[in-house]
């Protein structure tokens, strides 16, 4: 037979508390005549150290089972049971029965998953805080009732419904991970299907609606990702959906229909990486000759892996940002936009240049032609100014080398390949000195990175700007001494490197290179100081 918790409190708890506090019947009745909300408000204003407060708390507990008080906001009243037990533990049997029956009654009235979880949390908290061996019969009812509500809403759920559902289950996870696992396994197929269909629907939406839809879907993905430890089966699906969402979002604002690219050539450059394939094509866009850099998934992949996709997305954002500053007097290439083709490949469209600086210098060496020093200084100064402007926005290239500098026949140089660069979206990325992931290329990498790399490290302690300055110094040196060995960027070969620099006759260039190629990054000048040094040297040259 079901026991009424109101009777338990009336019969056992209130009389004992009444004797304990020498309370009169009138005192008890006065509390009974007050609404539950007013009792709670009054309790909140009373001195919690006064044991007399236990009477209104016991009465609040006793009337909690009344049908008119269904809301989960009253679940905190269950904690009053602990206050009573902490003072007078003879009530334990009655309190356990009272709490269990209150929970059973309230769960029957619960209409939402939030209400169920609020009540369940309160019940579990009593168990944890009291450190008892109580077993609430209500526990099984919580799981059954929760699944009833989930099954009711999941068949026709909106984004908001799913977000609320996952939010509730995430909250419940810390209380009862086993039950939540069985529930998430039940609904994750539906949620994943909802996400896939949502991605497909985005293709037919206008820009503004697409952005809103993507935002909602990303929120669901972020919530679902919180359950990957208790349901690892969703990991691959989550990664694929994250990639799909980024594929949808990457071209926002700079979307180019792939049909607008004409006269597409065969790839003139192809390079497989660990994550995807990179190819470069030539074509025309709006009658302008352009280069198309394509990142393609491998044949066994449905899409580019998420981590790589983030890097591609960052690269596109950098191209877009610097393209807005592109001019004849700097080294920023013109970027026209990007698109995703039917193979889920990311295509980046930019101005086409015939060759990179490595090819340019090889051609000159083959023909035994030397560039004039004033030409080299002009190109180098323009590069310094451009990299200095990037540094002002906390953008550091990370892989400066001859191959990543394009040029035309007039030595107009443009910077490309920002896939090793970072975007300062987070405050931590404004920190330019510390332990970071190793980046760069053989023969150009700063010695502090090369040292860590040679010893199998994945990270090194360095200054992002000073590391780029060393790489740019190696580029500058190759204008004069093209065939220096790739190993000369290491600490142990510093003497050999400086020996090559000493072969250059021009003292200004010699000193500039030694300043940039110092093995200790703390002794290298930054971009601004290098530009000041060049300007001062020009003034001295004129005056002399």
SS3 351: strand
- Give the pLDDT score at 339: 83
Q: Inter-axis angle of helices 79-87 and 92-109, to 10 degrees?
A: 180
- Give the pLDDT score at 299: 85
- Give the pLDDT score at 340: 81
DSSP symbol at 268? S
| Domains contained in the chain, number | 3
Residues 225, 169 within the same domain = yes
How far is CA 426 from each of CA 222, 336, 431, 458, rounded to the nearest angstrom?
18, 26, 10, 22
Average pLDDT in the 357-368 region? 92
Domain boundary among 190, 219, 248: 248
Residues 403, 270 within the same domain = no
Q: Predicted confidence band at 179 (pLDDT cuts at 50, 70, 90)?
A: confident
Q: Predicted confidence band at 20 (pLDDT cuts at 50, 70, 90)?
A: low
Q: For the stretch 184-218, what's the b/e string if a residue is b when 16 or more beta carbons lie within 10 angstroms of its beta carbon?
A: beebbeebbebbeebbeebeeeeeeebeebbeebb
Residue 345 lies in a domain: yes
Burial (CB count <10 Å: 0-12, 13-18, 19+), residue 533: middle
Per the model's pLDDT, the better-predicted residue between 245 and 502 turns out to be 502
Question: Can you give 34-54 as a three-state secondary structure string?
Answer: CCHHHHHHHHHHCCCCCHHHH
Residues 347, 360 within the same domain = no
- Give the pLDDT score at 2: 46
- Give the pLDDT score at 330: 94
Statement: residue 475 has pLDDT above 80 = yes
State the Cα–Cα distance between residues 88 and 54, nearest whole angstrom.
10
Average pLDDT in the 121-126 region? 72
Residues 336, 384 within the same domain = no
Statement: residue 261 has pLDDT above 70 = yes
Q: How many CB atoms lie within 10 A of CB 226?
A: 14
Domain boundary among 248, 279, 314: 248
The lowest-confidence range among 147-161, 250-264, 333-347 is 250-264
Q: What is the CATH number of the domain that holds 317?
A: 3.30.200.20
Q: Tokens in use for 216?
A: 């909602």
In 110-234, alpha helices (H)? 113-130, 138-154, 159-173, 177-202, 207-225
Residue 142 lies in a domain: yes
Residues 347, 368 within the same domain = no
| CA atoms within 13 Å, Cβ hemisphere of 267 | 13
State the Cα–Cα distance between residues 9 and 15, nearest whole angstrom.
9
Residue 253 lies in a domain: no
Residue 153 lies in a domain: yes
Statement: residue 452 has pLDDT above 90 = yes
Q: Predicted confidence band at 288 (pLDDT cuts at 50, 70, 90)?
A: very high
Q: Which residues contact 14 (CB under 8 A, 6 or more apart)?
A: 28, 55, 58, 59, 62
Q: Which residue has the tokens 């909106």?
A: 158
Residues 223, 265 within the same domain = no
Residues 160, 28 within the same domain = yes
Statement: residue 390 has pLDDT above 70 = yes
Residue 470 lies in a domain: yes
Residues 185, 132 within the same domain = yes
Residues 25, 133 within the same domain = yes
Smallest CA-to-CA distance from 79 within 46, 52, 119, 20 is with 119
Residues 406, 335 within the same domain = no
CA 358 from centre of chain: 36
Residues 386, 477 within the same domain = yes
Q: Give the gyration radius of the chain's Cα atoms.
A: 35
Average pLDDT in the 79-93 region? 76
- Give the pLDDT score at 456: 92
Smallest CA-to-CA distance from 137 within 104, 115, 174, 98 is with 104
Residues 233, 292 within the same domain = no
Residue 503 lies in a domain: yes
Per the model's pLDDT, the better-predicted residue between 94 and 335 turns out to be 335
Q: What is the CATH number of the domain that holds 399?
A: 1.10.510.10
Q: Which residues contact 173 (CB under 8 A, 6 or more apart)?
A: 180, 226, 227, 230
State the Cα–Cα distance between residues 233 and 477, nearest whole angstrom.
53
State the Cα–Cα distance between residues 406 and 353, nearest whole angstrom.
6
Q: Predicted confidence band at 155 (pLDDT cuts at 50, 70, 90)?
A: low
State the Cα–Cα distance between residues 456 and 487, nearest whole angstrom.
17
The parent domain of residue 135 ranges over 5-248
State the Cα–Cα distance between residues 256 and 518, nearest whole angstrom.
45
- Give the pLDDT score at 253: 44
Q: Which residues contact 166 (CB under 8 A, 6 or more apart)?
A: 191, 220, 223, 224, 226, 227
Domain boundary among 248, 282, 317: 248
**510-543, pLDDT tens digit by residue?**
999 999 999 999 999 999 999 999 988 876 555 4
**225-247, pLDDT tens digit by residue?**
888 887 787 777 887 777 777 66
Most confident of 304-318, 348-362, 417-431: 348-362
């Amino acid at each position: 037979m079901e026991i009424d918790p109101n009777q338990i409190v009336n019969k056992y708890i209130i009389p004992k508390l009444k004797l304990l506090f020498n309370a009169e019947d009138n005192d008890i009745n006065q509390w009974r005549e007050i609404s539950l909300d007013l009792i709670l408000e009054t309790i909140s204003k009373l001195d919690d150290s006064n044991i007399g407060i236990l009477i209104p708390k016991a009465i609040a507990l006793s009337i909690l089972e009344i049908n008119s008080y269904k809301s989960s906001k009253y679940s905190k009243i269950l904690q009053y049971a602990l206050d009573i037990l902490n003072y007078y533990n003879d009530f334990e049997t009655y309190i356990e029965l009272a709490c269990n029956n209150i929970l059973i009654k309230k769960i029957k009235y619960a209409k939402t998953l939030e209400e169920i979880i609020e009540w369940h949390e309160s019940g579990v908290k009593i168990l944890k805080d009291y450190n008892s061996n109580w077993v609430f019969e209500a526990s099984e009812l919580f799981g059954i009732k929760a699944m009833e509500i989930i099954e009711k809403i999941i068949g026709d759920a909106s984004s908001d419904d799913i977000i609320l559902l996952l939010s509730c289950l995430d909250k419940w996870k810390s209380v009862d991970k086993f039950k939540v696992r069985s529930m998430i396994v039940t609904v994750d197929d539906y949620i994943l299907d909802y996400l896939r269909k949502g991605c497909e629907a985005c293709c037919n939406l206008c820009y503004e609606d697409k952005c809103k839809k993507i935002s909602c879907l990303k929120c669901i993905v972020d919530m679902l990702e919180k359950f990957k430890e208790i349901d690892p089966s969703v990991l691959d699906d989550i990664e694929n959906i994250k990639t799909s969402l980024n594929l949808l979002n990457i071209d926002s604002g700079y979307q180019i229909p792939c049909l607008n690219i004409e006269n597409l050539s065969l790839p003139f450059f192809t390079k497989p990486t660990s994550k995807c394939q990179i190819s470069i094509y030539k074509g025309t866009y709006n009658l302008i000759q352009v280069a198309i850099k394509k990142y393609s998934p491998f044949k066994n992949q449905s899409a580019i892996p998420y981590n790589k996709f983030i890097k591609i997305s960052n690269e596109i954002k950098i191209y877009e940002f610097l393209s807005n500053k592109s001019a004849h007097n700097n080294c920023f290439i013109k970027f026209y936009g990007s698109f995703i083709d039917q193979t889920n490949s990311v295509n980046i469209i930019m101005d086409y240049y015939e060759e990179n600086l490595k090819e340019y210098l090889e051609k000159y060496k083959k023909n035994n032609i030397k560039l004039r020093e004033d030409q080299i200084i002009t190109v180098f100064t323009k590069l310094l100014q451009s990299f200095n402007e990037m540094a002002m926005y906390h953008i550091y290239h990370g892989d400066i080398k001859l191959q990543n500098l394009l040029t035309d026949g007039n030595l107009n140089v443009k910077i490309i390949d920002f896939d090793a660069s970072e975007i300062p979206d987070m405050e931590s990325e404004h920190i330019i000195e510390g332990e970071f992931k190793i980046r760069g290329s053989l023969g150009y990498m700063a010695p502090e990175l090369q040292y860590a790399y040679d010893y199998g490290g994945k990270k090194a302690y360095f200054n992002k700007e000073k590391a780029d300055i060393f790489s740019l110094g190696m580029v500058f040196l190759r204008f004069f001494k093209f065939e220096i060995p790739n190993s000369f960027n290491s600490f142990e070969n510093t003497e050999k490197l400086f020996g090559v620099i000493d072969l250059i006759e021009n003292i200004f260039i010699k000193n500039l290179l030694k300043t940039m190629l110092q093995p200790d990054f703390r002794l290298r000048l930054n971009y601004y100081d290098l530009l000041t040094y060049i300007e001062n040297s020009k003034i001295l040259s004129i005056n002399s």
